[in-house]
Amino acid sequence: MSPEPADTSAAPADPQAPELYLNRELSQLEFNFRVLAQAKDPRVPLLERLKYLCISCTNLDEFFEIRAATVRTALQFGGPLPPDGIQPSRALELIHDKAAELVAEQYRYWNEALRPELNAAGIRILANSAWNARQRKWLHRYFRDELLPVLSPLGLDPVHPFPRILNKSLNVVVVLEGKDAFGRNGGMAIVRAPRSLPRIIQLPPEISGGQHDFVLLSAVLTAFVDDLFTGMRVKGAYQFRVTRNSELFVDEEEVENLASALKDELASRGFRPAVRLEIAENCPRPIVHTLLQNFGLSENAVYRINGPVNLNRVTQVYDLVDRPDLKFPAFKPGPVAIDEESPFETLRQRDVLLHHPYQGFQSVLDLLQHAANDPDVLAIKQTLYRTGKDSKIIDHLITAARNGKDVTVCVELRARFDEEANIHLADQLQEAGVQVMYGVVGYKTHAKMMLIVRREGKKLQRYVHLGTGNYHAGTARAYTDIGLMSSHPDIAADVHDIFQQLSGLAPAIKLRKMMQSPFTLHKGILARIEREAKLARAGKGGHIIAKMNALNEAQVIRALYEASQAGVKIELIVRGACCLRPGVPGMSENITVRSVVGRFLEHSRVYWFGNGGKAETFCSSADWMERNLLRRVETCFPILDPRLAERVYDEELANYLNDNQQAWELREDGSYVRVSPAADEMPYSAQGALLAKLCG
């Protein structure tokens, strides 16, 4: 089911008209169809296709935990309508219909195509019905030895009310007949799979006959669950999983210690209100009704599953199977034009651009390590949003502090799903003598910046690193991002001032070259869009190209509509949700929107404004979203070196506008169509071109 199309027979002249705005949640679901399309693409290696399928499932989990949960909260407590004007009750109906379509397609593809192809390649995920006698005997023994001792089934009766079910945990509801040891009549019981149990079990080759044979924990539980209920008859066993609202709610102005308050919230996150129930397709209707009642859910929150309810867990097979022939070819990141032994000398002469993952994140780590051990470096300041486990960034910051540097780190404790990890690393840094701050009350610090202060002769010299992505070595290998290293005095002074603001020691000030949220970035974008519109009205053209993860900020969308009406050519590359409706006659026919979904997750944010032949190129940590522009601390930095600006334009904009392999065009009705080469065109992949150009 496609999003409700706009009636464009008489296109509205008002750029605020609700029908001109696509629903954010439905647009986000459309993105997951594009991810699923990667799983179906025969050009993609088989195990990578498995990974894409699992990513689409994991994305859907997060969608329900955050986006669908937000809509349910709006239904319960009210609030302003989004720009599309759709009431929460109607939005939930549309979400259910679209999500049900996605789920059905995920499992159809898994059952009918991907699983058989894996089997043919010697990678078998065996269902109960496929077990031979020897496999069943081994699995039964495994159940008794490894699983049964840690399982605690709970019968449902007046003495044993319905248990608390942890968010996204695997459970089995069992229907029983007969009497137990105390003479109690059978009924229903719940078997919860503890987190300690592996979700994927690999069969020994000597038992299975194959090198890569696996069984899902859910299949083992349902096959041998009767061992838990001796003397009773199991009439049915049905796996289920509940998804809960995972937004954390902390009134920062009312708490004395944000870290402590977040720890309390994290402890209860797994048991917040339910938003979705996934259950085995063959589960009887009365049991489904009972579960819905216990979780406080309506009919439009249940999804019947033809397969494992936690299909995303199959992604573990990717790492368990050593088959390079079924994965993307390995690549080595290309070199960065910086002297590894004397990075500061290079940066005094010129700016250095990094394009991840085609160029390695190691250059950032090397710069920080060099600063940590350089006796002339006096201070290091850093923002941290996500870092990953065992981060070298943290090691280098601790080394710097122990070497007597003044080290200040702004740790964003509210980085979604990384809150616990960030609390831990903040404690770790503080124990090492690093000054840790948690940003600004009410505003997440999403900016990515590093500042190094070094004494050089009689003066202090500042060096900066700014990026569109996190200081996370893992995502730097999987996400596309732009980084800039510079000693430009104005850029360095701007970064210094932003750090002063974060520490609470500076008022809102006018930056020299950069823009920042929540003060100047929103206004700066609107002003530049209007400038392009004025140029177009004066017959001097007007051109905007912008690449980002998502677009939903209403004022920016209205400004783009008005610029389109003025004749500005607007080319948007938006990976995920986009609420702007392109191609509406008289309103947005000069706007195109495309999404690129490939081997790497497109994560860089680049804004380019034609400016009458004096183009401006910016990179940013911010998408054109309401939260990024108005409720976060974000940075947007210009690429001042003409050679580097040209490189950003070529690699991040023109390159992606030419893609006809992994690109999708957004249509007026909110659906996407895959771009194909024209009759006279050669196939062209933007990511493939960058691998060839930068990695050699």
Structure tokens at 468: 């569109």
DSSP 512: S
Catalytic: 522?
Answer: no
List the one residue out of 447, 443, 479 whose CA is nearest residue 466. Answer: 447
Alpha helices in 456-509 (DSSP H): 489-502
* Tokens 């033809």 sit on residue: 306
Amino acid at 38: Q
d(CA 635, CA 494): 10
d(CA 680, CA 356): 32
Amino acid at 20: L
List the one residue out of 680, 541, 554 whose CA is nearest residue 609. Answer: 541
Collapsed DSSP state (helix, strand, coil) of residue 670: coil
* CA dihedral (207, 208, 210, 216) positive or negative: negative
Q: Is 416 annotated as a binding residue?
A: yes
Structure tokens at 239: 């796996």
List the one residue out of 514, 517, 540 whose CA is nearest residue 638. Answer: 514
End-to-end CA distance of the chain: 43
Strands 449-456 and 459-467: antiparallel
* CA dihedral (296, 301, 304, 310) positive or negative: negative
Q: Is 199 annotated as a binding residue?
A: no
Q: Which residues, listed in sequence order, are joined to residue 179 by a DSSP beta bridge?
A: 185
* Tokens 């920062």 sit on residue: 252
d(CA 438, CA 436): 7
Would you tell me the crossing angle of helices 46-62 and 88-109 to the nearest 10 degrees? 160
Collapsed DSSP state (helix, strand, coil) of residue 314: helix
How many C-beta atoms surround the C-beta of residue 398 within 10 A?
18
- Give the contacts of 608 (CB within 8 A, at least 6 positions apart): 544, 545, 546, 615, 616, 617, 618, 649, 653
Q: Is 140 annotated as a binding residue?
A: no
Q: Is 386 annotated as a binding residue?
A: yes
CB-CB contact of 377 with 463 (8 Å): no
DSSP string, 176-230: EESB-TT-PBP-EEEEE--TTS-SEEEPPHHHHSSSEEEEEHHHHHHHHGGGGST
Strands 601-602 and 663-666: unpaired
* Tokens 């969308």 sit on residue: 557
* Tokens 């992949």 sit on residue: 685
Strands 233-244 and 515-517: unpaired
The CA–CA distances, whole Å, from 305 to 239, 310, 490 equal: 9, 10, 57
Catalytic-role residue among 446, 488, 522, 543: 446
d(CA 485, CA 479): 19
d(CA 582, CA 563): 13
DSSP string, 261-290: HHHHHHHHHTTS-EEEEEEETT--HHHHHH
Q: Is 531 annotated as a binding residue?
A: no
Furthest CA-CA distance within the chain:
89
CB-CB contact of 626 with 552 (8 Å): yes
Structure tokens at 678: 């024209």
Active-site annotation, residues = 446
Q: Which residues are annotated binding-site positions for ATP?
A: 59, 479, 575, 603
Q: Which residues are annotated binding-site positions for Mg(2+)?
A: 386, 416
Q: Which residues are annotated binding-site positions?
A: 59, 386, 416, 479, 575, 603
